[in-house]
């Protein structure tokens, strides 16, 4: 069992080393490599969102609250992966809707494709080795693409981040995100 785990880890590291780095422009005017985890952080949290998806925008207060709660232990990015977006639109969205995480433009959709993100909002939490620790919804506010509850009854992302922060396995590492499809991603 240990040999299998070591083999999987070495394969993951070899694949990560073979893949080109992804550098994306940020709303702070700098380029960022969101797959490179800062040494003092437990994991990287990628929120895939869109200024044109009402479902995605509905989650911004919770995204901001999660970021505020966990930003001392995790790196957070809000990723815009629509090929026809421009940085001015990303900056307007960040300012108008008070998006707390640093927003990055993934215009060529390289990060979305590498992580398998297909929906906005969808979250991908990655370890330092690039392993997906959690992927899916923020919570169950939406039970279907247009089926919204009065309030969420789960806190999937918060539970995942709490487990990672405590060096425990994520209770449910994969959930289904509900929202808008990222155009051009199948």
Using 50, 70 and 90 to split pLDDT, how confident is the model at 1? very low
- Please give the tally of structural domains in the chain: 1
Nearest to 155 by CA among 178, 173, 137, 143: 137
Q: Which pair of tokens denotes residue 68? A: 């505020």
Residue 14 phi, psi dihedral angles, 5° rounding: -65, -40
pLDDT in tens, 45-60: 999 999 999 999 999 9
Residue 62 CA to its chain's centroid (Å): 14
User: Is residue 122 in a domain?
Assistant: yes
Residue 5 is predicted with a pLDDT of: 42
User: Is residue 63 in a domain?
Assistant: yes
CATH number for the domain that contains residue 176? 3.40.30.10
Residue 9 is predicted with a pLDDT of: 45
User: Is residue 144 in a domain?
Assistant: yes
pLDDT in tens, 155-171: 999 999 999 999 999 99
Residue 19 is predicted with a pLDDT of: 61
């Amino acid at each position: 069992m240990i040999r299998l785990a070591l083999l999987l880890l070495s394969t993951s590291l070899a694949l990560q080393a073979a893949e080109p780095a992804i550098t994306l422009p940020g709303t702070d005017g700098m380029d960022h490599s969101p797959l490179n985890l800062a040494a003092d952080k437990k994991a990287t949290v990628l929120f895939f969102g869109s200024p044109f998806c009402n479902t995605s925008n509905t989650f911004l207060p919770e995204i901001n609250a999660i970021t505020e709660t966990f930003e001392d232990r995790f790196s957070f990015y809000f990723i815009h992966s629509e090929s026809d977006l421009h940085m001015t639109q990303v900056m307007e969205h960040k300012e108008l809707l008070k998006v707390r995480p640093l927003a990055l433009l993934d215009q060529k959709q390289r990060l979305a494709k590498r992580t398998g993100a297909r929906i906005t909002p969808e979250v991908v939490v990655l370890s330092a080795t690039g392993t997906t620790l959690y992927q899916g919804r923020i919570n169950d506010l939406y039970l279907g693409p247009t089926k919204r509850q009065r309030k969420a009854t789960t806190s999937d992302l918060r539970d995942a981040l709490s487990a990672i922060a405590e060096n425990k396995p994520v209770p449910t590492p994969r959930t289904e995100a509900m929202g808008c499809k990222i155009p051009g991603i199948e």
